[in-house]
Amino acid sequence: MKAKSIKGRSVEEVSSALEQSMTYDFKPTLAIVFISIKQDRNAVCKILSDKGIDVAGATSCGEFINGYQDQGSIVILLLDLHRDAYSIFFRDVGNRDLAEVAKKLAHNALQKFNTPAFILLSTGMSKEGIVFNGEELINNLSKEFGGKVNIYGGMAGDDYSFTGSYVFTNHNHTDMGAVALVLDEEKMGLLGNAISGWQAVGTIKTVTKSEDDWVYTIDGQPAPEMYLKYLGKQSKTDEELKTLYEDIGLFYPFQVIDSADPVMRTPMMIDKERNAIKFDFPIPQGTKLQFSMPPDFDIVENVLADADQLRNTNRFEAEALLIFSCAGRLNALGPLTNSENDGLHEIWKAPMAGFFTYGEFGKGKKDRPEFHSTTCCWVALKEK
Amino acid sequence: MNQNLQNILKLVEESEALSAEQKKSVADWIKEVDKTITVTEFKLDRTEKVKKTTAILLEETIQELELKRKAVQETNDALHKSLEELKATQQQLIQSEKMASLGELTAGIAHEIQNPLNFVNNFSEVSSELIDEMTEELKKGNMEDAQAIANEIKMSLEKITVHGKRADGIVKSMLQHSRTSTGKKEPTDINALADEYLRLAYHGMRAKDKIFNSAMKTDFDESIGLVKIISQDIGRVVLNLITNAFYAVNEKKKLNLNGYEPTVTVTTKKTGNKVEIIVKDNGIGIPQKALDKIFQPFFTTKPTGQGTGLGLSLSYDIVTKSHGGEIKVDTREGEYTCFSIILPV
Ligand SMILES: Nc1ncnc2c1ncn2[C@@H]1O[C@H](COP(=O)(O)OP(=O)(O)OP(=O)(O)O)[C@@H](O)[C@H]1O
Ligand SMILES: [Mg+2]
């Protein structure tokens, strides 16, 4: 397999980058596209389709390839891979049962390949502001394989605008669904990991009043007040509150610590009138929460050291690299995300593309694929 | 890019003194510097933000710690109080245990008093008859016979006195047993004490359980003499041990083993400056896993309501704490148990 990564700040730029990349010995069959919602997805898809290239793509909160990172742009990982080795499934989920969707997807993948692996791109939030339950999707999908399956990917972003994020193929797109690039693991090798670095700190708190994803009081106190207090901002104007998510929501998520494995829950917005915080997922009353702090700066070194070790122990030589990095990392680690992403590229020495996500899919500490947030999730690919 | 850096970059580009190659190097360096500045600025900014939050979280954690400390303090106080209450209850229990053992004794005591009383009654009757006979003889002027009868009367009266005193002794020791310990050590005949409690315990058991039976053996070292002990306390220890022994042989008897003869032996011994009281039984013995616990207060294998499990714990305290002695146990499950009290003299 040959791979090249290209980028552009406009359709034209990408178009010419594509022309340049296609040489006599590089004829890409597949394009993995990460694109800002500000760019014309359809135009990009058309250019790729005209060249007979298959598309699997997602919108983003910032895009990057080796040596380049930006927001509002287009990046593409081009793969020259035999069509026997992969297949693309598009699923417009809407409000259908995710368990059912996952089951069918697994079934279809197994009809194609004995050992399918998934590059899974799902939407993040719909036009109506409904968060896609990526957790349920990956858990169900993984269950179909008894946890023994490779699934890596991310949830699409929308430049923190919350106006809707999309996944797409050459001719289809949805704001509530998923695109699965299914690889034949008999022909393709995958190796990846997901590391967060966010740490729960402070006292354990209890949600005392909530309704679906709205949390009204925590430990008997108005939730917004408490949350803002942590941020050292007592009161905020409505305008300021709108940008809260971008500012801090991803910066300081809450960790739900009821269950055996803590999960992140991210404040999405504060409604002054309701005097409540809206989270990305429903939070039942009685939930135990802990405030969490962004990772130390040395997390970048940890992510890289870990990747290096995985590479050495598995003697894996990558031909391409995909990175799904939580949008919160961009806030919390700023320019250090450059070092993280480029550092991973340095280790694998393979063309890389990635984007800042609203959620990541991949194998982390556990021995099965999981849903993550706040992680840097990467997967290295090679043809066997 | 930082304005100053931009200025430098511009200057370098316009410079004629530098070669194109040099210009490129300088430009690269400046880009590196700019990157470093950006990262540093970001780190500084983030550190500021995080610092604020950390301070608030820390404050909160301290508050919670303070609350927890208070809660712990309260729990501690409450614990202390219940400990005091427990001690008081224990004290009460000790007292009622004493009363209970007194109750157990009553039957034995009644039996013990019955004997001398019978003697007293018999000899009174006999004396009365003898006096009648003597009067007859005197009337007949049979002085010699009258004299012989008078002697018999005297002997009879002496016996009455002996048995009267015995009853008196029993009553006294009962009173002594129920009285709270004076804590005063008095010279005591340990053999007599052991003998008395053996018999009292035996009759106590019999009174409760008609079919109870056990051989009793004693082997007393007559050279012991008087030993200074708090007699009612040691009395209770001996009583406890003997009661336990009878209980153990009775339990084994219930197993209907062929040729089993329940036997409880009480031995006293003087060796050097130590006196030993040994209570041995051929009862059910004590299993290894219970052995560690028998001296713990409230440990009992008796059915609920039947034992307080205080007997051995109290005995232990009496022997070790107020007498500076030792209490030892040797046992084999299903075969025998042998408790020894070793007291310094
Ligand atoms: N001679 C013995 N043979 C077998 N087990 C004994 C003997 N003496 C004591 N034990 C065991 O030790 C336990 C504790 O004895 P202890 O005298 O302290 O209490 P108890 O006899 O159970 O109750 P209480 O004395 O109040 O009637 C007994 O329940 C019994 O299990
Ligand atoms: Mg007892």
Give me the interface pTM, i.e. the ipTM: 0.77
d(CA B287, CA B298): 17
Whether B294 lines ligand 1, by a CB cut-off of 6 Å, is yes
Residues B10, B118 share a domain? yes
Enumerate residues with CB within 5 Å of ligand 2 (an ion). B 244, 311
pLDDT range class, residue B96, cuts 50, 70, 90:
confident
Q: For residue B300, give the CATH number of its domain.
A: 3.30.565.10
pLDDT range class, residue A218, cuts 50, 70, 90:
very high
CB contact under 8 A, B60 and A202: yes
Residue of A nearest to B52 (CA): A232
Residue at which a domain ends, from B149, B180, B211: B180
- Model confidence over A117-127: pLDDT tens digits? 999 999 999 99
**What is the pLDDT of chain B when averaged over all its residues?**
87
Nearest CA to ligand 1 atom 8: B244
Q: What is the mean pLDDT of residues A189-209?
A: 90
The answer, yes or no, to whether residue B301 has pLDDT greater than 80, is yes
The answer, yes or no, to whether residue B338 has pLDDT greater than 80, is yes
Number of domain units in chain B = 2
Residues B131, B44 share a domain? yes
Residues of chain B with a CB closer than 8 angstroms to some CB in chain A: 35, 38-39, 42-43, 46, 49-50, 52-54, 56-57, 60-61, 64
Tokens 């700066």 sit on residue = A297
CA distances in angstroms from B199 to A213, B189, B196, B217, B331, listed in the order given: 82, 16, 5, 11, 24
Model-level pTM?
A: 0.63
The answer, yes or no, to whether residue B104 has pLDDT greater than 80, is no
% of residues, chain A, pLDDT over 70: 93
Tell how far the Cα of B300 is from the centroid of ligand 1, in angstroms: 6
The answer, yes or no, to whether residue A249 has pLDDT greater than 70, is no
Q: What is the mean pLDDT of residues B225-239?
A: 90
Q: Which domain holds residue B321?
A: 186-344
Q: Burial-class residue B20 by CB neighbours within 10 Å (0-12, 13-18, 19+).
A: exposed
Residues B329, B197 share a domain? yes
pLDDT range class, residue B286, cuts 50, 70, 90:
very high
Q: What is the mean pLDDT of residues B81-107?
A: 76
Q: What is the mean pLDDT of residues B289-310?
A: 84
Residues B168, B227 share a domain? no
Q: Which amino acid makes up residue A336? A: L
By Cβ distance, the residue of B42, B56, B64 closest to A230 is B56
**What is the β-pairing status of strands A2-8 and A74-80?**
antiparallel
The predicted structure's pLDDT at residue B174: 65
Residues B201, B110 share a domain? no
Residue at which a domain ends, from B136, B152, B180: B180
Residues B311, B199 share a domain? yes
Closest-lying ligand 1 atom to the alpha carbon of residue B300: 29
The answer, yes or no, to whether residue A252 has pLDDT greater than 80, is no
The answer, yes or no, to whether residue A345 has pLDDT greater than 70, is yes
Residue of B nearest to A298 (CA): B43
The predicted structure's pLDDT at residue B105: 63
The answer, yes or no, to whether residue A311 has pLDDT greater than 80, is yes
- Model confidence over B147-165: pLDDT tens digits? 999 999 999 899 888 888 8
CB contact under 8 A, A232 and B56: yes
A38-52, B44-58, B176-190, B253-267: segment of lowest average pLDDT: B176-190
Residue at which a domain ends, from B145, B162, B180: B180
d(CA A151, CA A158): 23
The predicted structure's pLDDT at residue B103: 65
pLDDT range class, residue B194, cuts 50, 70, 90:
very high
Whether B302 lines ligand 1, by a CB cut-off of 6 Å, is yes
pLDDT range class, residue B184, cuts 50, 70, 90:
confident
Report the first-to-last Cα separation within chain A, whole angstroms.
9
Both tokens of B134, joined, read 């003597």
Residue of B nearest to A295 (CA): B50
Concatenate the DSSP letters of all residues of A273-300 into one string. Answer: TTTEEEESS---TT-EEEEEEPPPTTHH
Interface test with B, best of A230, A292, A338 (most B CBs within 10 A): A230
Residues B311, B255 share a domain? yes
A217 forms bridges with which residues in the sheet?
A209, A222
Residues B96, B1 share a domain? yes
The answer, yes or no, to whether residue A236 has pLDDT greater than 60, is no
Q: What is the mean pLDDT of residues B88-102?
A: 73
Residues B242, B112 share a domain? no
Q: CB of A154 within 8 A of CB of A355?
A: yes
Tell how far the Cα of B293 is from the centroid of ligand 1, in angstroms: 10
Cα B135 from chain centroid (whole Å): 63
CB contact under 8 A, A334 and B46: yes
Interface test with A, best of B60, B61, B69 (most A CBs within 10 A): B60
The predicted structure's pLDDT at residue A244: 56
The predicted structure's pLDDT at residue A240: 59
